[in-house]
Amino acid sequence: MPVANTINGKGVVRPHQPDALPGTRTDAAGKAIRNVILLSLPDEEYNLIRPHLELVNLPHYAVLHESGEKIRYAYFLNEGMASLVVVSRDGHSVEVGIVGREGMVGLPVMAGLRSACFRAIMQIPGSGAKIPADILERCLPSMPKLHAELARYAMLHALQVGQIAACNRLHELDKRLARWLLMCQDRVDSESLRLTHEFLAQMLGSGRPSVTLAAGVLERAGLIETLRGRMRIVNRKQLENAACECYGVIQNFNGGLGLK
């Protein structure tokens, strides 16, 4: 099992990226913001939370919060992708949702709840603007646009979680894997995804040998290429055809989430 890096308020290394171009939205340190929700805010609302946003590096397997743990920070992802995972007492896990630059990790805060429902772990490394949960909670009553955007995102995300739960129960692993790879690419805009079969097995609630077999089915069909620690989507259109019906349902939400 991969070792998770815990993100907290100490010792976080900021990502190396250039300052934003004039006219673009930035955090308090002048680094570019690419999160869809933050970019949608009017200036008067964004300026309320801008001093409290800190751009941080979010490495592979970084745990943003654990299930049942108090949420200390909310994260508006700029790049990369976080998985929301249910972990059983015996250590088995399955993914129930994903978050990229279209959303926020720490949604319970917007409803006044401070305990995390799921483990949030960085599946694909990236960066994000973090804000202390108590400050975000205090700001929200004065930010109707942000509150509305988060409420809308929460509804679309709940639909995604429900569809993924049904998918995990009803569909064959190769079709689920195709659906999952497409959802990842929607959020990271890259053909090459840094993923191991072991971690995919944890996310899909299956064994590693089964994931290897499912990946082999897609690879022999010329849809993906498996590399050491990575998967590359070779034929996006045909991968969509190979995915279960759930991807089509979830893809209908993409426009509302600001994704392609």
**What is the domain-level CATH number for residue 132?**
2.60.120.10
Question: How does DSSP classify residue 143?
Answer: -
Last residue of a domain, one of 125, 142, 166: 166
pLDDT at 22: 36
Residues 24 and 150 grouped into a single domain: yes
User: What mean pLDDT do residues 212-239 have?
Assistant: 92
Of 174-183, 197-206, 219-228, the least confident:
197-206
Task: Residue 191: count other Cβ atoms within 10 Å of its Cβ.
Answer: 13
CATH number for the domain spanning 244: value is 1.10.10.10
Q: Does 7 score more than 60 pLDDT? A: no
pLDDT at 66: 94
Asked if residues 164 and 97 have their Cβ atoms less than 8 Å apart, the reply is yes
* Residue of higher predicted confidence among 166 and 56: 56
* pLDDT tens column, 91-147: 778 888 899 999 999 999 988 888 998 999 998 999 999 999 999 999 999 999 999
Residues 105 and 200 grouped into a single domain: no
pLDDT at 260: 65
- Cα–Cα distances in angstroms (integers) from residue 251 to residues 124, 159, 245, 247, in the given order: 20, 11, 10, 6
Q: What is the pTM of this model?
A: 0.84
Residues 57 and 158 grouped into a single domain: yes
The band of 15, judged by pLDDT with boundaries at 50, 70 and 90, is very low
* pLDDT tens column, 192-216: 888 888 878 877 878 888 988 999 9
Asked if residues 93 and 205 have their Cβ atoms less than 8 Å apart, the reply is yes
Range of the domain at 44: 5-166
- Tally of domains in the chain: 2
Stated as kind and residue range, the H or E segment containing 120 is strand 119-132
Asked if residues 85 and 94 have their Cβ atoms less than 8 Å apart, the reply is yes
Last residue of a domain, one of 110, 144, 166: 166
Of 27, 51, 52, 12, which Cα lies nearest the Cα of 132?
52
DSSP result, 20-56:
PPTTS-B-TTSBBP--HHHHTS-HHHHHHHGGG-EEE
Of 64, 57, 194, 76, which Cα lies nearest the Cα of 124?
194
The rounded percent of the chain whose pLDDT value lies above 90 is 53
Residues 183 and 117 grouped into a single domain: no
* pLDDT tens column, 57-95: 999 889 999 999 999 999 999 999 999 998 888 877 888
